[in-house]
Chain A
Amino acid sequence: MNEAVVMSGSVVMPGGVSAEPGMRVYNQKLGMWVFLTSEIMFFTSLIGAYIILRFGGGAWALPAVPLSEGGSPLNIQLTALNTFLLICSSVTMVKAFASIEHGDQKGLRLFLVLTVLLGATFVGIQIVEYTVLAHEGFLPHCSAELAAVVPSCHLFGSTFYTMTGFHGLHVTIGVLCISWVTVKAFRGGYSKENHGGVEVVGLYWHFVDLVWIILFTIVYLI
């Protein structure tokens, strides 16, 4: 084995010799970061379309203005709570990671379960929100009654459901992945030396939270 070679922490190849140092971050983590940059671009297309259509266009329904006066049909209070829940799930996720970094299996399991519950609740509340909005006629293509009251209603509906829908899809996938990690954690699949899976799924989860922080502001509050 070539002792002069710097061990990179990436895949150890047959023969026992390692690779050039590279990013000095193990493969799965680097791969997740690379994937997240593509996700940034994907949400850019959806959020960018919203920004362009809204701010390059005509009148738009404002938040905190009554619906009858052409205000936004979105429920800010409920979604603010939901935003807080998602942020809480980010805390529990990073606490799970911090736990296993110390070898704390119980902490890992507890915080992972909390993360799954909080994430699932977020999705649940969003489904409730969608149901209420749909009932009011706020849809990807608004009802005629609502479109008469809310300016740019069709565009609002189009962009709202596309952005939050795909974000919700990402959250759902995240909940499923974290559930899988949780099951593995309960089976003792992670240790202080070996917990890359927790870190990597955590990165994805924080990213999803980050996107929501942006979305909540520019869709609900502005």
Chain B
Amino acid sequence: MTQPPNGPVSAPSPTPRPDAPGSSSTAGRHRVVVVDDHAMFRTGVKAEIGRAVEVVGEAADADAAINVVLESRPDVVLLDVHLPGGGGIEVLRKVHEKNPEQKFLALSVSDAAEDVIGVIRAGARGYVTKSIAGDELIDAIRRVAEGDAVFSPRLAGFVLDAFSGAIDISSVDEDLDRLSQREREVLRLIARGYAYKEVAKELFISIKTVETHVSSVLRKLQLSNRHQLTRWATDRRLV
């Protein structure tokens, strides 16, 4: 929510980001907390990502998650959307009150639009479904830890859906309330199943630029309260 605003969207240079304390010292191995109410799933995820990241804590409900996250200050929190004690959104809110820099990657079996958009608007840096392969998950964690946003094809589709229609540029006054043509293209390619690398190649831009675009979309999604998004959200009982 209180993400430092990114630089101008057009600037292809990577945006430097203040890292969470203690994260830079771990020589490539990111520190991760796994929050999920299914013990079996936590075990599975730990086994899958354990070789590439350091799992420093886990929690099974919202209260425990808030404590663990605030205490251990991991690089990335893998956060289940459906969680006893208020859900993932509650964890996001409470943790960001104390530590606005904490990065979250939402993880869920549900791919209902309400869940996906809701958790992103609450401040998660990305969203993947639980059926994601181990390597892709590690990649997503790394990306989030480095300050980028992780958009699955489905999330990209939802965002396009939310911002779609009425790209009537003349009537839109605020930059936040619409996606630029480029951002739209990037999202569309992601929705088509392209990896960031492939998106970059397709659009003849650098990967870093793709990441910047995606981060910018994320910021718009989180900060925008343009009527279109609000209406879309209301239609789907999001707000």
Check if A and B associate. Answer: no
B interface residue numbers (CB < 8 A to A): none
